[in-house]
Amino acid sequence: EVQLVESGGGLVNPGGSLRLSCEASGFTYSNAWMNWVRQAPGKGLEWVGRIKSETNGGTVEYAESVKGRFTISRDDSKNTLFLQMNSLRAEDTAVYYCARHGVFGNTLYGIFDCWGQGTLVTVSS
Amino acid sequence: DIVMTQSPDSLAVSLGERATINCKSSQSVLHSSDNKNRLVWYQQKPGQPPKLLIYWASTRESGVPDRFSGSGSGTDFTLTISSLQAEDVAVYYCQQHYTFPLTFGGGTKVEIK
């Protein structure tokens, strides 16, 4: 069974840091392109960023709202995706989901075919 | 950035009736390389992550009931639930993957009348 499990959320002060993890199972993680998507309480979905597989260069793209503050990385030996969040602001409060790029016709697309359950990050003093 | 605008924000439909959700992109998401629309629909039920429903604007994901259908091309898209069931109560989002940043519509909440 394909599964993504996020962890690491919690309460953090404004200006603080937090590191989220997403452990993958049930598929060949090293080939996957992975994303973080967030959802503020009662709000819609916002794409945070994507990391390609290492064989595709491990390139990362970020939303402007997090560029320079958030860093996405991966550890393929542990089937784990990370989101390092620094200089956190109140507006970063959200449920953070990891999601996988789907493979369609042997090509990867930004179609999120598998999502984790999410982890809540609350930025407040 | 491509802005995705959904309408209405919410709608209430009687069981067995049709529900129609619209999604408009600020620029075309039709890719000339393969003539496919980079437009996806997700369903999100309360307390759950989003679930992929439809991709390429009109292709149902495996296991999705055929009462769900997607249509449209270029900048204007529609998700239709032909006969609303109680389990379809959810928020529905469209998303474009034509270019970065990947962007979502604001969501449409579907309820039972």
pLDDT tens for each residue of B37-90: 999 999 999 999 999 999 999 999 999 999 999 999 999 999 999 999 999 999
pLDDT for position A106:
84
pLDDT score for A105: 84
Residue from the list A35, A113, A117 with its beta carbon closest to the beta carbon of B52 = A113
| First CA to last CA distance, chain B | 36
Of all residues in chain A, the one with the smallest CA distance to B48 is A117
Q: Which residue has the higher pLDDT, A68 or A104?
A: A68
pLDDT tens digits, residue range A39-55? Answer: 999 999 999 999 999 99
Q: What is the pLDDT of residue A88?
A: 98
Whole-number pLDDT of residue B35: 95
Q: What value does the mean pLDDT of chain B take?
A: 97
Using a CB-CB cut-off of 8 Å, the residues of chain A touching B2 are none
**CA quadruple A27, A33, A34, A39: dihedral positive or negative?**
negative
The whole-angstrom separation of Cα A98 and Cα A82 is: 9
Contact A110 B105 (CB under 8 A): no
The verdict on a CB contact (< 8 Å) between B103 and A110 is no
How far apart (Å, rounded) are the C-alpha atoms in residues B105 and B26? 11
Residue A60, pLDDT > 90, answer yes
Q: Is the pLDDT of residue A108 over 90?
A: no
Give chain A's mean pLDDT: 97
Give the span between the Cα atoms of A100 and A112, in whole angstroms.
5
Residue B1: pLDDT band (50, 70, 90) is very high
A104 pLDDT above the threshold of 90: no
Residue type at B78? T
Q: Is the pLDDT of residue B29 over 90?
A: yes
Residue A85 identity: M
Partner-chain contact B40 A45, CB within 8 Å: no
Across the interface, whether the CB atoms of A112 and B105 are under 8 A apart is answered: no
Distance from CA of A72 to the nearest CA of B (A): 15
B52 → closest Cβ in A112, A116, A118? A112
Q: What is the mean pLDDT of residues A74-90?
A: 98
Judging contacts by C-beta atoms under 8 Å, the chain B residues touching residue A115 are 49-51
